[in-house]
Amino acid sequence: MNVSGPADIIVAGHICLDMIPTMYESQSDIAALLLPGKLINIGPAVMSTGGAVSNTGIALHRLGSQVKLMGKIGGDPFGQIILTLLRGQDPSLVEGMIVSPKETSSYSIVISPPNRDRTFLHATGANDTFSAADLNQEQLQGARLFHFGYPPLMKKMYEHEGVELLRLLKKVKESGVTVSLDLAKPDPSSPAGRVDWRAILTQAMPFVDVCLPSFEELVYMLDRELFDAMEQEAPEGDLLSYADGELLARLSSELIGMGAAIVVIKLGEHGIYVRTTSDKRRLPQMGLDAPEQDWLNCEIISSCYEVDVVGTTGAGDCTIAGFLFGLTQGLTLSETLHCAVGVGACNVEQADATSGITEWAAIRERMNNGWKKQAMKLNLTNWHANGDQLWIGPHHKSSKASVISE
pLDDT above 90 (res 400)? no
pLDDT at residue 378, rounded to an integer: 93
CATH fold of 9-13+52-103+132-392: UDP-N-acetylmuramoyl-L-alanine:D-glutamate ligase (3.40.1190)
Assess whether pLDDT exceeds 70 at residue 331.
yes
48 pLDDT band, cuts 50/70/90, is confident
Q: Encode pLDDT of 246-295 as tens digits.
A: 999 999 999 999 999 999 999 999 999 999 999 999 999 999 999 999 99
Proportion of the chain above pLDDT 70, given as a percent: 94
Note the pLDDT of residue 267: 97
Can you tell me the mean pLDDT for 344-360? 93
Query: pLDDT for 77-127, tens place per residue?
Result: 999 999 999 999 999 999 999 999 999 999 988 887 777 767 788 899 999
- pLDDT band, very low/low/confident/very high, at 402 (cuts 50, 70, 90): very low
- With residue 119 as reference, give the H or E element that holds it: strand 119-123
With contact defined as beta carbons under 8 Å apart, do 255 and 308 qualify? no
Average pLDDT over residues 135-151: 93
pLDDT, residue 5, reads: 57
What CA–CA distance (Å, rounded) separates 66 from 97? 15
Question: Strands across the sheet with 16-21, in order?
Answer: 45-50, 16-21, 107-111, 119-123
First and final CA of the chain: distance in angstroms? Answer: 42
Report the sign of the C-alpha dihedral through residues 53, 55, 56, 57, in that order: positive
Query: Over the chain, what is the mean pLDDT?
Result: 92
What would the DSSP string read from start to end of 178-237? EEEEE--PPPTTSTGGGS-HHHHHHHHGGG-SEE--BHHHHHHHH-HHHHHHHHHHSGGG
pLDDT in the model for residue 71: 97
- pLDDT above 90: percentage of residues in the chain: 79
pLDDT score, position 403? 36
Say how far apart CA 363 and CA 320 lie, in whole Å: 15
